[in-house]
Amino acid sequence: MTDTIRRFVLVAAFAAVTGFGTLFAGAAYAAGDKVVVELFTSQGCSSCPPADRFLGELAKRDDVLALSFHVDYWNYLGWKDPFSSTESTRRQRNYGGAFKLRYIYTPQMVVSGTHQSVGSGRGKILNAIERARKEQRLPVKISHPDKDTALVTVAAGPKPDSPATIWLFAYDKEHLTDIRRGENEGRKIAYSNVVRAHRRIGEWDGKELKIKLPVKMMGLDKQDGCAIVVQHELGGPILGSTSFDLAAK
């Protein structure tokens, strides 16, 4: 995906908000103090479906922001994952370096940028979520002050050693895919919160930061959710996050 197309997709995700201006006008719309759980998965990986189901369960929790990142390095096994991207693979490789792993793998879950484990290992992941819930996180919120603007606010906090990156991830809340070839041939698999676009929208240095994003319909309006994640580079701890449901009415 080129930078131009990616920009179109993400601005379009914000554009969907315009359809609900009366509901959102002037009000902060934040996900609360959620723990970010990321699953690195692939439709070409026979070990991934249990982790995909587990992420679907986590996505229903009020205290978790669950995101599914589909990597592209299994596409040679006879089935190209339509949700895979080099950006998702790059994000996982950054985590691999941060965790000093010898290799990256699927399914992998990363909790709050500080813990990683096999994505189907429910006990370890649930314990990591409970530990992360006790950590203080940076308040992040989104407001919709007028029909043309989305406003992201990151609160002031302890100054990081280096500026933290503010990511915007646009995602599809649900997908059900019939897989016709590869290791999962003949299976119908459900996916939750599938990240379709990545975008850096700013840096945070400890001071309160407000980022205005234009709301303009660009035609690519398929995403129905967006997440904002403030994170140390590269593949470091997640300081704060929020999400909003573009499909809410």
Which pLDDT value is given to residue 242? 92
pLDDT reported for residue 246: 67
Instruction: Report, as an integer, the average pLDDT of 218-222.
Output: 39
Residues 6 and 220: their CA atoms lie apart, in Å, by 10
Region 141-161 average pLDDT: 85
- Whole-number pLDDT of residue 47: 96
- Edge-to-edge strand list for the sheet holding 115-118: 115-118, 108-111, 35-41, 64-70, 188-204, 164-178, 225-231, 238-245
Please give the Cα distance from 122 to 119 (Å, whole number): 7
The pair of structure tokens assigned to 151 is: 């406003």
pLDDT at 52: 97
Q: Residue 81 corresponds to which tokens in the numbers above?
A: 């994952």
Tens digit of each residue's pLDDT (9 = 90 or more) over 82-136: 999 999 999 999 999 999 999 999 999 999 999 999 999 999 999 999 999 988 8
**Confidence check: pLDDT of 220 > 90:** no
Arithmetic mean of pLDDT, 168-177: 92
The full set of domains in the chain, from first to last, is 3-245 (3.40.30.10)
> How many Å apart are CA 203 and CA 180, to the nearest integer?
42
Mean pLDDT across the chain: 84
Rounded to 10 degrees, what is the CA torsion of 86, 91, 93, 94?
A: 140
Amino acid sitting at position 92 = Q
| Whole-angstrom distance, CA of residue 47 vs CA of residue 57 | 17
The C-alpha atoms of residue 232 and residue 243 are separated, in whole angstroms, by: 18
